[in-house]
Structure formats: structure tokens, C-alpha cells
């Protein structure tokens, strides 16, 4: 059932004035209806001011973090066919691949040489690879590179593995964890509203299944991240429902380390919409900080929005600059190819008035 249905029908005219809601947000949790009201109507700079104030209360007020890692797509073969994806190849399509052990090791070795502390592994929903393939991949990485943190397999991948093997989600995660999986990224969330998912990714796991993967991972002692891809076919109500679902699970498990909202990139996809504006991105970043009062870390997205807007995001609720992205392929497939070095990231952070610090996945700082 939709969280909006649980709360009853929306009646914005019955809400307190925007200024009153923003004052409330400084000190206490706001409702979904209140969040929608300020998302739609709060003055842009005032929304950013409140978000920045809350960011300073919930995290170190003077530090902005980043992580040195690499996104490795172990395969691009996928049976999901999401309308927003420009990266995947169908099983019989030319250009499909599965990385070999040697190719994987080369990429990780290079990552470590460049100062990387973790890798993010994601691939498509491959129709033929058994769970043992992924277990062997993880165990090989841990054997060859015991110090590297493996942040891998989004919830849709884990649901796909579990269905293919006839296992529960818990059993699937436990097997991957025993093989070497350290944490789970928040990919595949898109918008956690099934009516939206049916339009953009009908073959992908449901919103409830995405939440359940994260719940089971948290109960097994694993940390995960959460994401939101917005600016395609969803409405403001859907974005707020997405945030409320994350907030509810975080109340229950406290297993999310960070939230990463990023704007949909439409080029080369099957969804003909305009790219979101910088103003809408910053409003969404700010409302995320306000609604997600139980998340310490909100990450800006320089990969999709560019360096200058990401820097501005540090004054709209963001406290983390994300990854150096030694390699990134999925967003690049839409034609968006921003690149930043460690030095450039640190300069941008200092330029916004903060101290840059390299971190690990769990947000412990690297000395």
C-alpha cells in the first residue's frame, strides 16, 4: 500500500504555512504532506539554508568526505531491459561481455595503485550465470586483494540470484557475504513506488523486494547505501514516498550509511524527457536532507550534474563528494562524461569552505 494512502488524501490547503513547516524541520521530523508542501513551494534559498543547517547538526560541520574507488561492471548482459538504461546488452546482442578473472584483477590492481580502498561491482541480470560464479568472483578478489572493500550487487541483482537458485533473499546474501561481499550499494532503487517501476523497469524487482534486500542485509550486520534516480516519469509525491520508505527502514535497522540522489540522464535511453535543471537537483538534494533526519550522510552527484553544481550541493545538504570514479560506464553510456581527479575534488571541497577527507565505505576517515 502506498504511504500516501496510509496517510489519507492529500489536502495541501490544510497544511501549515511553508515558513512554519520549515521552522518545525529545524528541530523535529516532518510528515510526508509537510515535505511535499515545502518541496513544491518553499523559496529556493531558504530550503537550501535549512538543509545546510541540518547537515551541520548531523555530520561534522567542517569536513566533506570522498572515497577513492572504481565502478567495475563485471558484465553488461541483462534481461531486464529497463527503459532508462543505455548501457545493457541483451544476451544475444553484439557487444555483450563478462569480465575474465584476469581482467578483473588488472582493474583492481590499478585501483589500489591509484590509492583506492574499495571497488563497486555491478552488472546486468545475466540469464545463465549461476550463484557459484559470483561466489568464485568474490573469493578470488579477497584472496588476491585482501585489503580491498567489496561494495557489490544491487538489490535487483540479489533478487535475480535468489530466484534463479530457488533461495530466500537472506540465504542468497549470506552466501555472498561468506564468499567476501562486504556491503551492498543502493542501485536499482530508481523510485520506490511500484506504479513508477512498472513504467520504467517492469522486469526489475519490486519496491518491496528492494526494501527487503536491504532489511535482510542490515539484519546480517552489513551496511548498505540508498539511492534515488529522479527526473523521468515520476511526480513529486513519488519522490517523497521514496524518501519515506527509506526513512522508515532506517528507523528499523540503522543500516544505511548514506543516501545518493541523482538526476536521470535521458540521452540514448527510451524515455524522452528533458534533463532536470540544476535548480531542481538542488531542491531535491535539500528536501532529501530535511526528510531523511536519520541519515548522517547525503552525497552530491558530480558524475551526473558536473563539478560546479556538486560543489553548490555542499551548501544544500550534501556532506560527501562521492567517489573519484576511476572508472564509470553506465552514466557514460548516456553521453555524460564528467571526470575529476583527487586533487580536483579536494580543490572543489576547499573552494566551498570545507576540509576534504578521504573515507571508507562506512565513513570512517583515512588518516
Min mean pLDDT across 169-173, 248-252, 335-339 is at 335-339
Q: How large is the average pLDDT for residues 298-324?
A: 95
The three grid cell numbers given for residue 62, joined into one nine-digit string: 567542517
Cβ(173)–Cβ(161) below 8 Å: no
Comparing 93 with 243, the larger pLDDT belongs to 243
Give dist(CA 68, CA 301) in Å, integer: 15
Fold observed for domain 60-358: TIM Barrel (3.20.20)
What pLDDT, on a 0 to 100 scale, did the predictor assign at position 85? 64
Query: What's the pLDDT tens digit per position in 124-162?
Result: 888 889 999 999 999 999 999 999 999 999 999 999 999
Cβ(159)–Cβ(217) below 8 Å: no
**What are the residues facing 66 on neighbouring strands?**
358
Q: What is the mean pLDDT of the chain?
A: 89
Query: What's the pLDDT tens digit per position in 182-206?
Result: 999 999 999 999 999 999 888 889 9
**What are the residues facing 185 on neighbouring strands?**
none
Residue 338 has pLDDT above 60, yes or no: no
Cβ(144)–Cβ(112) below 8 Å: no
Query: What's the pLDDT tens digit per position in 232-278?
Result: 999 999 999 999 999 999 999 999 999 999 998 877 666 767 689 99
Q: How large is the average pLDDT for residues 289-312?
A: 95
> What radius of gyration do the chain's Cα atoms show?
20
What pLDDT, on a 0 to 100 scale, did the predictor assign at position 337? 45
* Beta carbons within 10 angstroms of residue 117's beta carbon: 17
Q: Which residue has the cell 513547516?
A: 21
What pLDDT, on a 0 to 100 scale, did the predictor assign at position 325? 77
What order of strands is seen across the sheet that includes strand 320-323?
320-323, 63-67, 355-358
Amino acid at each position: 500500500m502506498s504511504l500516501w494512502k496510509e496517510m489519507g488524501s492529500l489536502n495541501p490547503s490544510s497544511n501549515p504555512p511553508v515558513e512554519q513547516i520549515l521552522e518545525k524541520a529545524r528541530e523535529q521530523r516532518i510528515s510526508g504532506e509537510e515535505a511535499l508542501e515545502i518541496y513544491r513551494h518553499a523559496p529556493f534559498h531558504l530550503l537550501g539554508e535549512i538543509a545546510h543547517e541540518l547537515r551541520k547538526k548531523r555530520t561534522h560541520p567542517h569536513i566533506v568526505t570522498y572515497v577513492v574507488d572504481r565502478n567495475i561492471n563485471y558484465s553488461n548482459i541483462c534481461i531486464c531491459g529497463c527503459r532508462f538504461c543505455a548501457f545493457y546488452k541483451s544476451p544475444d546482442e553484439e557487444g555483450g561481455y563478462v569480465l575474465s578473472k584476469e581482467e578483473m584483477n588488472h582493474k583492481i590492481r590499478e585501483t589500489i595503485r591509484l590509492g583506492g580502498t574499495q571497488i563497486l561491482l555491478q552488472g546486468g541480470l545475466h540469464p545463465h550465470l549461476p550463484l557459484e560464479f559470483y561466489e568464485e568472483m568474490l573469493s578470488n578478489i579477497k584472496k588476491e586483494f585482501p585489503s580491498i572493500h567489496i561494495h557489490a550487487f544491487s538489490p535487483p541483482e540479489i533478487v535475480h540470484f535468489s530466484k534463479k537458485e530457488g533461495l530466500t533473499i537472506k540465504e542468497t546474501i549470506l552466501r555472498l557475504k561468506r564468499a567476501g561481499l562486504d556491503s551492498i550499494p543502493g542501485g536499482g532503487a530508481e523510485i520506490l513506488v511500484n506504479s513508477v517501476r512498472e513504467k520504467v523497469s517492469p522486469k526489475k524487482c519490486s519496491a518491496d523486494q528492494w526494501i527487503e534486500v536491504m532489511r535482510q542485509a542490515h539484519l546480517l550486520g552489513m551496511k548498505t547505501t540508498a539511492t534515488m534516480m529522479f527526473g523521468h516519469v515520476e511526480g513529486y509525491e513519488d519522490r517523497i514516498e521514496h524518501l519515506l520508505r527509506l526513512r522508515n527502514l532506517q528507523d528499523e535497522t540503522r543500516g544505511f550509511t548514506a543516501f545518493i540522489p541523482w538526476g536521470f540522464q535521458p540521452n540514448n535511453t527510451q524515455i524522452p524527457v528533458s534533463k532536470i535543471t540544476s535548480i531542481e537537483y538542488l531542491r531535491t538534494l535539500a528536501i532529501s536532507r530535511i526528510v531523511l533526519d536519520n541519515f548522517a550522510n547525503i552525497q552530491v552527484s558530480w558524475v551526473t550534474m558536473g563539478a560546479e553544481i556538486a560543489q553548490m550541493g555542499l551548501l544544500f545538504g550534501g556532506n560527501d563528494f562521492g567517489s573519484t570514479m576511476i572508472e564509470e560506464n553506465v552514466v557514460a553510456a548516456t553521453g555524460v562524461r564528467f571526470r575529476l581527479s583527487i586533487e580536483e575534488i579536494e580543490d572543489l571541497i576547499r573552494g566551498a569552505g570545507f576540509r576534504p577527507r578521504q573515507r571508507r565505505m562506512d565513513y570512517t576517515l583515512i588518516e
